[in-house]
């Protein structure tokens, strides 16, 4: 897929910097634009700022400076219901599955519908028929219909991560953000889970941003690769354009990296 640069990005980091309370700067004026329907993989060493960038894109962390825009709207200016609606449009998948272990696959998936329910019905566990149908369909699309009534703690690692993806899909988002979604899985399971994320994103026309460690897997699934090193963008280009030299620079040991990218 070729990025359409003239269209309004689905999500954009505009000169985003992030500084932790202890003074550590995790991001340095990072600018990344992701078009509607585009699949982008973010690469980099541990500590490069990938997870911090993901948290900023998701609205879980506010940039110290710069802006994050969703369809051209500055997320930092949203409050109340508008902010909750914006969060509902972003489906999140994390390294840790973040499931309710004693709850069933269906119950965990239905958590993705909470943003669309009033507080009181959700507290008394009232589930609308439409919400249930959406959740069941999400589970079915991940190939877990036979596990619908199983508790999460009875599932394999790959199945648990697929439940987390189903929960994200049940939100009916327009964007999926996956932060190291397969770091806890073996390579075969990892590829299958990432393939599922990308397949569903393409079928639904969703934008997807994935933080990945596996370069070969990123090349396999992404339209575009973004390399982060020490909180700065080293490269941002179509997957086919990323060279071995680009990757060598991205993953070089600090004492071997050129000045300015350490």
Is 147 a residue whose pLDDT tops 90?
Answer: yes
Task: Give the pLDDT band of residue 256 (cuts 50, 70, 90).
Answer: low
C-alpha to C-alpha distance for 105 and 147, rounded to whole angstroms: 7
Task: Give the pLDDT band of residue 255 (cuts 50, 70, 90).
Answer: low
Mean pLDDT value across the chain: 90
Going from the C-alpha of 62 to that of each of 27, 30, 43, 45, the distances in angstroms are 12, 14, 22, 23
In a domain, 198, yes or no: no
In a domain, 242, yes or no: no
Task: Give the pLDDT band of residue 217 (cuts 50, 70, 90).
Answer: very high
Domain containing 115 equals 99-172
C-alpha to C-alpha distance for 111 and 99, rounded to whole angstroms: 10
* pLDDT tens, position by position, 24-70: 999 999 999 999 999 999 999 999 999 999 999 999 999 999 999 99
Is 2 a residue whose pLDDT tops 50?
Answer: no
Sign for the pseudo-dihedral over CA of 155, 104, 149, 171:
negative
In a domain, 121, yes or no: yes
C-alpha to C-alpha distance for 152 and 162, rounded to whole angstroms: 11
Q: Which of 2-11, 137-146, 206-215 is predicted least confidently? A: 2-11
Q: Which of 84-88, 140-144, 158-162 is predicted least confidently? A: 84-88
In a domain, 104, yes or no: yes
Is 123 a residue whose pLDDT tops 70?
Answer: no
C-alpha to C-alpha distance for 230 and 53, rounded to whole angstroms: 12
* pLDDT tens, position by position, 229-250: 999 999 999 999 999 999 999 9
Overall number of domains in the chain: 1
Q: Tokens for 245, please give them.
A: 């030299």
C-alpha to C-alpha distance for 96 and 113, rounded to whole angstroms: 20
In a domain, 240, yes or no: no
In a domain, 136, yes or no: yes
In a domain, 126, yes or no: yes
Tell me the average pLDDT across 114-132. Answer: 72
Q: Tokens for 18, please give them.
A: 């992030």
For a pLDDT cut of 90, what percent of the chain falls above it? 77
Greater pLDDT, 232 or 253: 232
In a domain, 189, yes or no: no
Task: Give the pLDDT band of residue 82 (cuts 50, 70, 90).
Answer: confident
pLDDT score recorded for residue 56: 96
């Amino acid at each position: 897929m070729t990025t359409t640069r003239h269209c309004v990005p689905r999500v954009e980091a505009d000169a985003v910097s992030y500084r932790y309370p202890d003074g550590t700067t995790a991001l340095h004026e990072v600018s990344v634009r992701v078009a509607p329907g585009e699949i982008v993989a973010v690469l980099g060493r541990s500590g490069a700022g990938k997870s911090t960038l993901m948290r900023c894109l998701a609205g879980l962390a506010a940039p110290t400076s710069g802006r994050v825009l969703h369809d051209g709207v500055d997320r930092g200016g949203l409050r109340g219901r508008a902010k909750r609606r914006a969060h509902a449009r972003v489906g999140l998948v994390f390294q840790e599955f973040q499931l309710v272990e004693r709850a069933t696959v269906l119950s965990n998936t239905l958590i993705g519908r909470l943003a669309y329910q009033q507080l009181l019905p959700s507290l008394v566990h009232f589930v609308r028929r439409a919400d249930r149908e959406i959740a069941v369909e999400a589970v079915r699309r991940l190939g877990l219909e036979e596990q619908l009534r199983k508790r999460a703690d009875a599932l394999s690692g790959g199945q648990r991560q697929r439940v987390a993806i189903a929960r994200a899909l049940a939100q009916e988002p327009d964007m999926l953000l996956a932060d190291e979604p397969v770091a806890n899985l073996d390579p075969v399971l990892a590829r299958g889970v990432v393939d599922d994320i990308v397949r569903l994103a393409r079928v639904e026309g969703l934008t997807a941003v994935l933080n990945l460690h596996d370069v070969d897997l990123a090349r396999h699934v992404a339209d575009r690769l973004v390399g982060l090193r020490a909180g700065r963008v080293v490269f941002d280009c179509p997957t086919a354009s990323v060279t071995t030299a680009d990757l060598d620079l991205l993953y070089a040991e600090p004492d071997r990296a050129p000045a300015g990218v350490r």
